[in-house]
Amino acid sequence: MTDSNRHPRRIVVAGGGTAGWMAAAAIARTMGRTVDLTLVESDAIGTVGVGESTIPPLVTYNRLLGINEAEFMRATQATFKLGVLFDDWKQVGSRYFHSFGLTGKDHWSAGFQHFWLHGRANGHGQSYDDYCLELVAAMQGRFAHMPEDRMNYAYQLDSTLYAKVLRQMAEADGAKRVEGRIAQVEQHGESGDIAALVLDSGKRVEGELFLDCTGFRALLIEQTLHAGFDDWTHHLPCDSAIAIQTENVGPPVPYTRAMAHDAGWQWRIPLQHRSGNGLVYCSRYLSRDDALARLLGNIEGEALTEPNFLKFTSGVRRKQWYRNCVAVGLSSGFMEPLESTAIHLIQRAVLRLIRMMPQGEISERDIAEFNDQQHADTLQIRDFLILHYKATERRDSPFWRYCGTMEIPETLAQKIELFRETGRVFRRNEELFAENSWVQVMMGQGIMPRAYHPIAEKLRADELDALLGNLRDTVARTVASLPEHGAYVARYCGAAQPAMPAAAAMARG
Ligand code: FAD
């Protein structure tokens, strides 16, 4: 039995970014007085300062924590997000939308794409997009909550403000916050488990269970415990980003944009009070100066901040729970932000940890199960991300030529070929991205199935016409009845507009 194999009454969260406060808020709310929870963070070090686009499970996370949505959106200057608009990914000039919604109507034996493909083979010219409520609403800039959660959405939010909201909750629920830089991580001599964090001031924060939320530094899990890291740069070659905030130009749209350029892509995320922008690129093919010039040349409003330069390595920590330390957030690994999956992985890790919270001894079986489940999530997301780069027809730059011809994991190759040959996609276990996500991105990137399920042919031509026509009309009619997104946000959760900071003095490239 090691020193840490006792009831983990004292839980210490190292780091107070989105990961630290998401973990602290959820643990404090769920576990209440059964744990003694302390979070250590350093204002002097600060947070990564990005991470504003989310995916729908965050709605559930906030509901689980009992967060009032309108108040939360007001406090975080949030807008609604219905998906991501991808420009120039398949080819320069191409465009597709990955929406959060269902498209058309599935049959239990076959997804809607099979019926749409049958229609296409029989002369129906309508786009697959026309059958998806969220997609059509997004492109028309409309939004409203709908009965029975029929509109599937996420948020675009200010991550610094989100951490503040979570901090207030966590502190109200009994979490303690300690300010200061962690200078040393103390280990038990015999077991090697973490015993305490020692701050610059000399203060020691002891615990039985430690959450490493120190971001890319991975102070506990890597710098102290050397859990190891699998580097996936060969599959996900972007390794740098520059972020900048700008004034909004026009009302916020209910979607995030991902605009490909010749060595990566650029994001645009509209919040209520400003927009987040960033250029993600591969430093092998684009210099920092050229990347900055490109970003500044392609932002819409006045810049409000100085550029924030970030370096990262896509990959995963080999053991996310190791000894008495659980890595949550960027310390556990990072895959570039194309599909806004990082905050979601924080959510999964936190909920998983709460489900596996040790009662007495830390069980090696819990650790193994946690690591297996986290790893499986990560691999599935990794494959989905690689798809965007691999399935491209672009060959107009060395970056895209590399992506188009790179080796890919067998799991992804199987998924692509299965879809190409049969139109089928299978969601395995608790895979994050549903069938329709894969279908939208595969077709958007130019992979068109050669066949479809024979059940689609059960429909006579007039029945198929009626089915497709009705589905399309219902979507069009419903969207026409929705309010404009910006007006809806203002009514539902409009935040006071803060005084704009002086525009950063910088030349536009
Ligand atoms: P950080 O924000 O870096 O926080 C680390 C914390 O540890 C800070 O409080 C810091 O003060 C503290 N700390 C570190 N060292 C010490 C020390 N020695 N002593 C005391 N405290 C210390 N995710 C999404 O879901 N959607 C997105 O759109 C998205 N976009 C992204 C774009 C880019 C370019 C990058 C790099 C990431 C993006 N992410 C996105 C990921 C997202 O930003 C992170 O997952 C999220 O912010 C969590 O970060 P974190 O809390 O793990 O780390």
- At residue 405, does pLDDT exceed 80? yes
Percent of the chain with pLDDT over 70: 96
**270, 290, 311 — which closes off a domain?**
311
Q: Is residue 216 part of a domain?
A: yes
Q: Is residue 144 part of a domain?
A: no
Bridge partners (DSSP) of residue 259 are 87, 266
In this prediction, residues 128-147 reach a mean pLDDT of 98
163 and 305 housed in the same domain:
no
Ligand 1: does its nearest atom lie under 6 Å from the Cβ of 47? yes
DSSP state of 208: S
Contact 260, 89 (CB under 8 A): yes
Which of ligand 1's atoms lies nearest the C-alpha of 214?
7
Q: Which residue shows structure tokens 């690994």?
A: 333
Structure tokens at 160: 């610094």
Whole-number Å distance, alpha carbon 65 to ligand 1 midpoint, is 21
Whole-number Å distance, alpha carbon 321 to ligand 1 midpoint, is 18
354 and 248 housed in the same domain:
no
Structure tokens at 402: 């590399």
Contact 485, 142 (CB under 8 A): yes
Structure tokens at 127: 């786009």
Bridge partners (DSSP) of residue 87 are 95, 259
Determine whether 372 is exposed, middle or buried from the number of CB atoms within 10 Å of its CB (0-12, 13-18, 19+).
exposed
The pLDDT, as a whole number, for residue 496 is 75
What pTM did the predictor assign?
0.94
162 and 227 housed in the same domain:
yes
pLDDT digits (tens, 9 = 90+) for 367-389: 999 999 999 999 999 999 999 99
184 and 306 housed in the same domain:
no
The Cα 141–Cα 129 span in angstroms is 15
In this prediction, residues 302-329 reach a mean pLDDT of 97
Which of ligand 1's atoms lies nearest the C-alpha of 45?
11
Determine whether 292 is exposed, middle or buried from the number of CB atoms within 10 Å of its CB (0-12, 13-18, 19+).
middle
Q: What is the CA radius of gyration of the chain?
A: 24
- At residue 501, does pLDDT exceed 60? no
387, HSE (Cβ side, Cα atoms, 13 Å): 29
Question: What single string gives the DSSP state of each residue in 380-406?
Answer: HHHHHHHHHHHS----SSHHHHHHHHS
- Give the residue, by CA position, lying nearest to ligand 1 atom 14: 214
165 and 22 housed in the same domain:
yes
Which of ligand 1's atoms lies nearest the C-alpha of 46?
11
The CB density around residue 87, as the number of other CB atoms within 10 Å, is 17
**333, 362, 391 — which closes off a domain?**
362
DSSP-based three-state secondary structure for 409? coil
Q: Is residue 194 part of a domain?
A: yes
Contact 391, 445 (CB under 8 A): yes
Sheet containing 204-206: order of strands: 182-187, 194-199, 204-206
46 and 10 housed in the same domain:
yes
- Average model confidence (pLDDT) for the chain? 94
319 and 353 housed in the same domain:
yes
In this prediction, residues 55-83 reach a mean pLDDT of 97
Q: Is residue 367 part of a domain?
A: no
Number of domains the chain is built from = 2
270 and 257 housed in the same domain:
yes
303 and 330 housed in the same domain:
no
- At residue 285, does pLDDT exceed 80? yes
Q: Is residue 336 part of a domain?
A: yes
Ligand 1: does its nearest atom lie under 6 Å from the Cβ of 42? yes
Whole-number Å distance, alpha carbon 305 to ligand 1 midpoint, is 18
Whole-number Å distance, alpha carbon 20 to ligand 1 midpoint, is 9
Q: Is residue 135 part of a domain?
A: no
Whole-number Å distance, alpha carbon 378 to ligand 1 midpoint, is 17
Q: Which residue has the higher pLDDT, 29 or 507?
A: 29
In this prediction, residues 215-237 reach a mean pLDDT of 98
What residue numbers bound the domain in which 301 lies?
Answer: 240-311
- At residue 507, does pLDDT exceed 50? no
Query: Among 28-32, 137-141, 496-500, where is mean pLDDT lowest?
Result: 496-500
The pLDDT, as a whole number, for residue 8 is 55
DSSP-based three-state secondary structure for 464? helix
Q: Is residue 470 part of a domain?
A: no
Helix (H) or strand (E) holding 230: strand 229-231
* pLDDT bracket for residue 359 (50, 70, 90): confident
- At residue 1, does pLDDT exceed 70? no
Instruction: Give me the CATH number covering residue 192.
Output: 3.50.50.60
Q: Is residue 340 part of a domain?
A: yes
**330, 362, 394 — which closes off a domain?**
362
Ligand 1 site-directed mutation target among 47, 53, 159, 320, most atoms within 8 Å of CB: 47
164 and 305 housed in the same domain:
no
320 and 339 housed in the same domain:
yes
The letter for the amino acid at 31 is: M
* pLDDT bracket for residue 502 (50, 70, 90): very low
Q: How many residues are listed for the chain in this entry?
A: 509
Task: Using alpha carbons, list the distances in angstroms from residue 321 to 218, 340, 397, 407, 473.
Answer: 12, 23, 40, 30, 50
The CB density around residue 428, as the number of other CB atoms within 10 Å, is 9
289 and 322 housed in the same domain:
no
Which of ligand 1's atoms lies nearest the C-alpha of 183?
18
